[in-house]
Every structure is written in C-alpha cells, then in structure tokens.
C-alpha cells in the first residue's frame, strides 16, 4: 500500500529516467505492468514478417545469383597492398544490387528489365554519358524503383535496404547487450528531437524539401544529395556512388563503374572501401540509425517520394494514449497510476521509431519507413493504422503556408507599431 500511495505523489512532468532516476523507474515497473497490455501475437507477427523480408533481401543483394550464368567475375584489389596494377587477390562473381536490380538476366537491360537506385540513376543521367539506347531503360528503371515508395511510403529503407538491415541488427545488439549506452543514445535522440522542434528555418538553405521530409537537422544528408548531383554533372561520373556504403556492400554496378572511370581498371572491387559500410554501422553508437537519419542521400530521396504516399499511416488515438491522459478503459483508472505509467512509457512510440518521429505531436510521416514498430510496441493499443490519409506533403505545405502567413502578419503589425510611434 505504501508503494501505491507514492504513485499519487509523482510529478507528472518527470517522464524520463534521467529526471526520476533509473532505480525509481525500475521500481515502478512491476506496479505499472498491471495496467500495461502485452503486444498481441497478431502485431508481433508483423515484425517477424518484416525481418523475414529484410533477411531475404540481404541474401539477394549480398550473394551471387545462380541464373547470372553469363555474368563476369570482378577483381578484388587493394589500394595499399600492391595497388590497382597487381594481380587481384580473388575474383568475385557479380550479383544483384540496390544499384541495379536485374529482373531478367545480366545481359538484358531493356525497359522494365531492371530497377536502379534513384540517387545513382539521377547521378548517371546528369553525367551526360548515358547513350540514347540506354536512356529510356534507365529512366524507366528509376521510375519503377520509386513507384512503391510513392504509393506505400519509404518502404525500401524499412523493409529492403541491406545496409539498413545490418544497422538495425546492430541497434538490436546495442539495446540487448549495452543498456547503459542505449540509454545515452535515447537521451541524445531526445535532445536532438527537442532541438528539431524548437529550431526555426533551414539549416540547409539549398534544400526546399527539408520541410517536406520533416527533418530540419537533415542538413548533412541534403547537402550530400545536392553535392552528389552537382558533382556528377561537373565531373561526369556518379560521385557519391564511389563511396556509397550500399553500393560497396552489394558490389553495385554504378559503384564499380564509377571506380572504373577513376582508375581505368575494369570494375574493380577495392578492399579498403569496406571500411565505409563498417563506419556507417558503427555510427549507430551515437544514435539509432544515425547514418540513415543524418547522412544517407538515398534516404532523403525516398523520404521525398514517401511524403506523397496516402497509405498505411500510423496515428495516435488520444483516448487510449497514456501520455495524453489516463485511458478510461484502464482497469486502475480510479487509482490514478498515470504518472507512473508515463514515467515507464517515456513516449515509447517515439523511442522505438527508427526515424524518431514524434507521433504525439503529429510529426511528419514523410520519413516513416512503415516498420510498424510504434504500432507493435505500444502497450496501450494507442497507435492506429490509417489505411488511407492525407499525404505528408500536403500537411507540410499547409504548415509552411501558415508559417508564412504568421510571419507576414507579424511583420505588418510591427510596421503599424512603428507608424503609431
């Protein structure tokens, strides 16, 4: 009874472990677990399906495909041990890649026969080196890659990206085996999200779509995207593809051809470049999916495409959300445990989101990868999936319009005050 009386004295402003202390939050969890709801098997099955799909794509992209019987083998060379002129260490067969996902065979690239990475495709088109014969197939392949993301949202980053799967696996390992580091990551992510919400204006003035993708702090990724496109047009080869961790880890065609242009060697696989995917993964020690959220230009491009999607949109049901009030269907509603529930929950939907989207304050879903973790892990069934809703790009333009209108009103009122003075 003494422990229950303490719950009535909890200040509802202390919602995080840093404010109330790790030991207090842990002590309340057994009491709060009485009113928390376990994720149903139906919801957890979504996670199993998603990870099965992710594992399948990793196998497709990482391993050579049997039916590429006519595909050549490419040399593995080293920049520091013998250079690019010595005999290769080993020959590796070409396989499927995010750069170019072949649907028919290695030696046929007609319209509809392949898909290509949108960033690599745009860079290649801007080089001006695409022949007339390959121009239409390249455009069709780029559009076919983007169509699912325009319709369903940025599903590639959440369900298919091989590098994203490796990063997610690393994040799971950090959560399980390094809990103290994971708490520091969550604290950093929380501070970062608060800065995003409090900061006005653009950190990347060259990128108009910063508002649409809902991430003002994505300036590095925006800058990488713009620099890659401009650099490709200037230097006439896909600049970012030379260091793209996705292309490196999957032996992508655009990556290999970019190094062919630089070195003159025929499609070289350079051993030292594997350090780049390793660094992209280790950046998650700072924040969950740091590479994906802050640096990756492919993610920025697909977020822009995903912002037009009206389908599969997670939203918060205010009547059930413990962070917005005590749910009336709670069996201990009359005992007012909500303060303790909030301390334990700590905006769980935002913490488990790989992109850190704040659903409680109606954060932009332009970055949503449709991983469904918010829906799966909400213990109060407060996340609802809207199968059809307003695309994020429309709400972004409306917010931008309202902001410009408020700015104009403020400017007009200041001018009137000056005239009155």
Q: Long-range contacts: 61-66, Cβ < 8 Å, 24+?
A: 61/95, 61/96, 61/97, 61/98, 61/162, 61/249, 61/250, 62/95, 62/162, 62/249, 62/250, 63/95, 64/92, 64/93, 64/94, 64/95, 65/95, 65/96
Across the chain, which has 421 residues, the per-10-residue mean pLDDT values are 37 40 47 48 86 92 64 82 77 84 80 90 92 90 93 93 94 92 86 65 43 51 91 93 93 90 87 94 92 92 91 88 74 62 78 87 85 87 88 80 80 73 63
Residue 73 neighbours by CB distance under 10 Å? 14
| Sequence spans of domains, the chain | 70-305
Q: How far apart are CA 317 and CA 333, in angstroms?
A: 17
**Does residue 96 contact residue 61 with C-beta atoms inside 8 Å?**
yes
In the 8-state DSSP scheme, what is residue 108? B
Question: Which of 59, 2, 57 is closest to 27 using CA atoms?
Answer: 2
Supply the pLDDT for residue 5: 35
Supply the pLDDT for residue 205: 37
Q: How far apart are CA 396 and CA 387, in angstroms?
A: 20
> Over the stretch 325-340, which tens digit does the pLDDT of each residue have?
777 666 666 665 566 7
- Residue 208 CB burial class (10 angstroms; 0-12, 13-18, ≥19): exposed
Three-class SS string for 51-90? Answer: HHHHHHHHHHHHCCCCCCCCCCEEEEECCCCCCCCCCCCE
Q: How far apart are CA 373 and CA 39, in angstroms?
A: 11
Dihedral sign, Cα of residue 383, residue 389, residue 395, residue 396? positive
**Does residue 384 contact residue 314 with C-beta atoms inside 8 Å?**
yes
Q: How far apart are CA 145 and CA 115, in angstroms?
A: 6
Alpha helices in 128-235 (DSSP H): 132-152, 155, 162-177, 179-198, 219-235
Q: Which residues of 255-272 are buried (b: 16+ CB within 10 A; e: fewer)?
A: bbbbbeeeeebebbbbbe
Residue 123 neighbours by CB distance under 10 Å? 26
Q: How far apart are CA 108 and CA 33, in angstroms?
A: 58
In the 8-state DSSP scheme, what is residue 312? E
Q: How far apart are CA 106 and CA 113, in angstroms?
A: 10
Beta bridge partners of 92: 74
């Amino acid at each position: 009874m003494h422990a229950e009386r303490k719950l009535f004295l909890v200040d509802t402003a202390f919602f995080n472990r840093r404010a109330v202390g790790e030991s207090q939050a842990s002590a309340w969890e057994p009491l709060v677990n009485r009113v928390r709801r376990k994720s149903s098997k139906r919801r957890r099955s979504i996670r199993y399906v998603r990870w099965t799909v992710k594992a399948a794509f990793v196998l497709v992209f990482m391993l050579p495909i049997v039916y590429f019987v006519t595909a050549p083998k490419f040399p593995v060379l080293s920049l520091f041990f013998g250079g690019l002129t010595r005999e290769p260490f080993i020959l590796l067969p070409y396989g499927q890649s995010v750069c170019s996902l072949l649907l028919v065979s290695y030696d046929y690239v007609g319209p509809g026969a392949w898909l290509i990475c949108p960033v690599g495709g745009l860079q290649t088109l801007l080089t001006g080196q695409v022949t007339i014969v390959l121009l239409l197939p390249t455009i069709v392949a780029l559009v076919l890659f983007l169509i699912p993301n325009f319709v369903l949202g940025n599903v590639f980053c959440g369900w298919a990206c091989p590098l994203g799967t490796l990063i997610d696996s690393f994040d799971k390992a950090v959560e399980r085996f390094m809990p103290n580091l994971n708490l520091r990551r969550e604290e950093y992510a929380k501070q970062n999200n608060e800065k995003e919400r409090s900061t006005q204006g653009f950190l990347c003035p060259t990128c108009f779509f910063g508002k649409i993708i809902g991430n003002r702090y994505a300036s590095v990724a925006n800058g990488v995207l713009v620099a890659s496109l401009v650099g490709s047009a200037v230097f006439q080869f896909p600049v970012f593809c030379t260091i793209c961790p996705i292309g490196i880890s999957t032996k992508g065609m655009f990556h290999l051809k970019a190094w062919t242009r630089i070195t003159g060697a025929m499609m070289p696989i350079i051993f030292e470049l594997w350090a780049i995917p390793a660094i992209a993964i280790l950046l998650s020690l700072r924040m969950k999916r740091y590479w994906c959220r802050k640096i990756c230009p492919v993610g920025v491009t697909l977020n822009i495409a995903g912002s037009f999607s009206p389908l599969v949109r997670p939203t918060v049901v205010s009547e059930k959300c413990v962070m917005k009030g005590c749910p009336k269907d709670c069996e201990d509603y009359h005992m007012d445990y909500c303060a303790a529930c909030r301390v334990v929950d700590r905006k769980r939907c935002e913490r488990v989101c790989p992109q850190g989207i704040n659903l409680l304050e109606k954060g932009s879903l332009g970055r949503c990868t449709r991983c469904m973790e918010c829906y799966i892990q909400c213990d109060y069934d407060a996340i609802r999936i809207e199968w059809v809703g307003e695309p994020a790009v429309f709400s972004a333009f409306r917010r931008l319009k309202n902001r410009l209108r408020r700015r104009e009103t403020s400017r007009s009122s200041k001018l009137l005050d000056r005239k009155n003075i």
